[in-house]
Structure 1
């Protein structure tokens, strides 16, 4: 008799497996110890520069900044309908509420009533047409936050609107040909076929697969919500403390809203309590509104959302709907593929176009597709405007091909890993992507081989088959899925960064760069790069708040490029200082500048050793410049937006994961029993930080594909899952009892910062293995005789529906 799933799982030991590669804050490997002894400050595990501040509660976030005397608080009144026309607002009654100082509407914005990131189609406050339920219609400024919130909560009673029928799903938007940007088409044939020829190739293939797939969106659920604190300065200036991934964009949009030049606006961000893409563009609405109020009232204004309003106002990961048609041979090799992707973009463009571009460019994932026709549509719906989220369309593109290959394997009654291998990119041939970029750094073959062996994949697959044969209620599933993820911004000119490095006369060092810290360890890695370049201890280097008055015209900290870009810029600045110091040392002590060595806080010159701070003091006396700016622009990038062709990525990051699950076929309850991960980060700058990023991305991606379900009311358009009580993110209890994470050994083939690779976004695709392990267990419930129609997220309800379908035949 089978035990209930909860009893079976409680009986398992809950202990994480020890990491076998450079993990922790000690020098855990001989390689790290040797690197440290040789003076290296990169390639070793270094504690996060703010870790102690985080755990002691002394790290300063925007809401922790002491409020200036006279600070007012802003709250937003939200539209009560999803579509329609704004008729009137009872402003007099609002203004009469306790503590209210001023009520703002669209007419009160002195500059542009727009915060659109690319397309200028997103009003700060509703200017007539209501776009979605939760759209800001007015702003209340009061003496206290509680007074502002109470007044804003009257919106339902005080807003008169003429309601219309909302469009809520991507399918409905697609049926109406209603899009926020023009459709995108990417057609590539290795044999010169047009789209009709590709379709003919699919139809003539030995086997054919057609189907549809729904993949839900995902709330960023950052711990620190959206917040801006605007402080008016002299001569019309504005200082905005903002929790944002893109200070330069906030500077420009605030300037436009105020009707002033960019130099009048300073945006500062010391750190964020998480961002995940949700603070790349969408922090603008709050920065603009707080700044408008502060300018008009000439008093500091803070706008901090509570969690419900954050859900109701802001966008999230795009939901996707797919239709696919694929031809393949007896080995499961894809001969031709056609796919239509439709996203729920929301009411405005925001970043939907580049998200769809990246989705189309990641449909191939790790596989060579000889004939492919892809079509992307960004459906315009009466919902929140969806935006960036970790992976930025890459996960939505790649999961479609993984679903297709998993289905092909099941139709052929083959191991899905064998079918995936049969379609992998080659190294010398079969290595051109659908957008015509060669894959020159392919390590997926050896990486998957290593993971298969380390995880005992084949033995466990046999053991699971034996278990399922004697277990009518509990079914286990296993899956191994790969990742190939392109690194760089889709838009070429975003791939640039600047930095400032200051060396003070006591030998301490200050670094400022254009990236933003959201807990991912960017400042830690940049400080390591600077320490390494100047041959000093990490403790000598301090990273300061991101500030648009120090490094101008920066790109967003997004697309996993934060360390690649800002690390290179900081290295450039530090190298210039080092070269000046070397010249000074040679001039004072003899020898050649190129022979001067910096390591372990010491400088070796002409056979003698002096301390770093001694040389700095000498350089100051010799009037040597002890600060420098640095700049970096990623080389070799190109993209033709019309043809959807080029080299949009500097390199690819690779990875793979094996997941084992158990599913209760009576309840749909499931549990991840074990996960084995091998991920490629090149030559790691900081193994401890990188492994932490892989772990976090894995659990976050698992949440997207399993528990995090977004539900809109089908008539009113109300987001029903707008709080932690109705929206389920993973917790520590959802981590597998056995979680093995290792870093793949090998340097980046491209000249990235110390030959490392980006780690922020790629590992979010690793938990595809969890979803397909669940699908494997569902298939076992039907004797592996039918394709499980499992959709994402694979909630318990979705699992039960799929089990019912496979058992019905």
Structure 2
């Protein structure tokens, strides 16, 4: 096994940027000393909150009996919708989801009342005693249920180019089918938690485990009926987010804020794992109906794809999520004529939400599934069909009208990984193994990644940062990005230290808080480093330029010739320590604080017409996965994975490799072991680690090779780096493709009916279907 590696990507000697520095809290994580919200000392008089949820998924709420709840010793207050002074709405956009149910219930476990007690134990015990009278109705649980009722959370939406049905009908070959893609639980290590502390004049300070502090501020202010300026949201770190804390943290922060307002005391809520899984949204699951026409080489001539999304009980972020599914339904391939349509269906299940990749993985997986089916129909290697359809010269316009200007990067990665992974020889070896192995079968797949980087809601593509230089030369850094373990704080600190030419020990990273940097965008869409790194650089440069003028005047050289490096400031043949210059600047009454703001350029998107440039650039990658399956049990094991991934000129190669490894394994879990099961009554049955299986250490491939693709981002990003948070999830498509390849080896040329996730049960079902077809 070769070690994970990265090439020398530096264009100029840099002290911090592009160096593999450890995560800023790595030592604290190992020691257990990193403070999360539940670790903070509880203020005097702190109360605890537990939720009373609906025992039914759909119905009219007739009565809420709380007498027994209030009688429990230690209970201070019991909250219902009637106690909300502002608006009973926690939705991010569409005004369609209440904090507490008032007239109807719309999913199993929906919060109806909240118990506020002296201890968490008392609150939890009391919450079980609520007597809810509900006129039950039959819930919609599946996309078929919602289709039958005609219930959607948002209007249908589609991209269209040419006459796809006619082109498909005239093509030399046609395929049609249905593919189901399961959802995924975020399973962050730190569950949803919030601590609200009331202040004077109706103000509220809310500590929240959130990716979007500004959304916490907005929702809490809305629920309390106060101005945004009276609410401060703060987060130092999260124990994972993965999209599950972009919009969904708002409900629990607002619950804590409401309780603090009613009682006048600090209030904390921390969901346990079962409640967290039952009451918070997941990755959207889909049914995909498709038809495709193609030529003898497997080149697609026309395609129709209908994505039926189970959005849950409210819109939440489904507009952006399902739009991104459409943006990535081309995967890495040019589609001459197409219809990519979506239905956003309303079901009586918890509202699905953001999840790493934000809908993109589902779109890409569906297209990779189509590519495999084409290859099997023609008896060709799926990699050859992928190459035949890959974006290239004069085949470079996406379904939404954006030109793929750097398709050569994706093609080069595909070719380089094909060679470095020894794909062709391994495929021959696998064929030889399968020829003499009736029970164990191996499969291999090499799949590409092309992922658009930017928020598709254009106004979110901005960030602010605040930098202070103190008179002793120490630096304080604050920005709108949040830290959920991905290393964003460290990367931005590296940028600031580089700008001032000082050691990392001089830069103090502070918690993200809305009273320092306002109107922040969520840390999502893989844009955290791009946006906040640029904003922090802009702020630091303002201060550095002021200091350079002072140094230039003092030493008699132009400010442009002043250099900041090695903890000193150099002007001609003279130098002074950075700390000394900071002191002199203060004495000279020079402002040593600056706010930086960055807005991503070149973006425009006309959603009604489905045309524009919604992404600043694309991140590319490819993965080659080899698996073995047991045809008697359906069990599988990933034997080897080779990854080549494009991060531009990496800000921090060590952190980026960690993100690639983690993203891949999370994607592998989504596609192999993580199965969400709802019963006919809308109750989530896989609501704990005993029934929901995330990957563990033993599921890691024994041979796992990750290499960073060399080359700068062609767009002007921070130090020409590229985003790395979400794209690696889609590298796991290779694992799903390899499993399907192993099944297909049992009967070459026959279609494989295998839905995601490819659990042992699903694999065994696919194996039996292939066998029975013969």
Q: Which TM-score tier does this pair reach, normalised by the shorter chain?
A: over 0.9
User: Which residue is 2:682 aligned to?
Assistant: 717
Question: Within 1, Cα distance between the matches of 2:709 and 2:267?
Answer: 48
Say whether residues 1:804 and 2:744 are aligned partners. Answer: no
User: Which residue is 1:451 aligned to?
Assistant: 417
| Contact 1:227-1:303 at 8 Å conserved across structures | yes
Alignment equivalent of 2:490, drawn from 519, 524, 529: 524
User: Which residue is 2:149 aligned to?
Assistant: 176
| Contact 1:171-1:321 at 8 Å conserved across structures | no
Deviations 1:281-311, CA, capped at 9 Å, x for gaps:
0111111111011011100000110000001
User: Which residue is 1:13 aligned to?
Assistant: none
| Contact 2:378-2:749 at 8 Å conserved across structures | no
Does the residue aligned with 2:576 lie in a helix, a strand or coil?
strand
User: Which residue is 2:754 aligned to?
Assistant: 790
- The structural deviation recorded for 1:641 is 1.7
- The structural deviation recorded for 1:391 is 0.1
Question: Within 1, Cα distance between the matches of 2:77 and 2:578?
Answer: 57
Question: Within 1, Cα distance between the matches of 2:663 and 2:164?
Answer: 36
Question: Within 2, Cα distance between the matches of 1:317 and 1:152?
Answer: 28
- The structural deviation recorded for 1:154 is 2.5
TM-score, normalised via structure 1 length: 0.95
Question: Within 1, Cα distance between the matches of 2:14 and 2:666?
Answer: 36
Correspondence 1:499-514 to 2 at 5 A: 499-514=465-480
User: Which residue is 2:3 aligned to?
Assistant: 18
- The structural deviation recorded for 1:17 is 3.1
Q: How many matched pairs?
A: 772
Say whether residues 1:433 and 2:418 are aligned partners. Answer: no
User: Which residue is 1:80 aligned to?
Assistant: 55
- The structural deviation recorded for 1:70 is 0.5
Does the residue aligned with 2:499 lie in a helix, a strand or coil?
helix
User: Which residue is 1:630 aligned to?
Assistant: 596
Question: Within 2, Cα distance between the matches of 1:533 and 1:378?
Answer: 46
| Contact 1:171-1:342 at 8 Å conserved across structures | no
Does the residue aligned with 1:368 lie in a helix, a strand or coil?
coil
User: Which residue is 1:261 aligned to?
Assistant: 227
Alignment equivalent of 1:141, drawn from 99, 116, 130: 116
- The structural deviation recorded for 1:241 is 0.4
Does the residue aligned with 1:101 lie in a helix, a strand or coil?
strand
- The structural deviation recorded for 1:613 is 1.2
Say whether residues 1:769 and 2:734 are aligned partners. Answer: yes
C-alpha RMSD of matched pairs (Å): 1.0
Deviations 1:586-612, CA, capped at 9 Å, x for gaps:
010111100111112121102122221
Correspondence 1:405-804 to 2 at 5 A: 405-426=371-392, 428-442=393-407, 443-714=409-680, 716-782=681-747, 784-804=748-768
- The structural deviation recorded for 1:365 is 1.3
Alignment equivalent of 1:224, drawn from 190, 203, 210: 190
Question: Within 2, Cα distance between the matches of 1:730 and 1:373?
Answer: 36
| Contact 1:603-1:611 at 8 Å conserved across structures | yes
- The structural deviation recorded for 1:198 is 2.0
| Contact 2:5-2:708 at 8 Å conserved across structures | no
- The structural deviation recorded for 1:88 is 1.2
| Contact 2:530-2:718 at 8 Å conserved across structures | yes
User: Which residue is 1:330 aligned to?
Assistant: 296
| Contact 1:211-1:325 at 8 Å conserved across structures | yes
Question: Within 1, Cα distance between the matches of 2:4 and 2:209?
Answer: 34
Question: Within 2, Cα distance between the matches of 1:600 and 1:43?
Answer: 17
Alignment equivalent of 1:159, drawn from 115, 132, 153: 132
Moved over 6 A (4+): none
Question: Within 2, Cα distance between the matches of 1:538 and 1:743?
Answer: 25
- The structural deviation recorded for 1:619 is 1.4
- The structural deviation recorded for 1:785 is 3.3
- The structural deviation recorded for 1:39 is 4.2
Question: Within 2, Cα distance between the matches of 1:135 and 1:411?
Answer: 47
Say whether residues 1:244 and 2:210 are aligned partners. Answer: yes
Question: Within 2, Cα distance between the matches of 1:490 and 1:175?
Answer: 31
| Contact 1:492-1:648 at 8 Å conserved across structures | yes
Question: Within 2, Cα distance between the matches of 1:548 and 1:401?
Answer: 41
TM-score, normalised via structure 2 length: 0.99
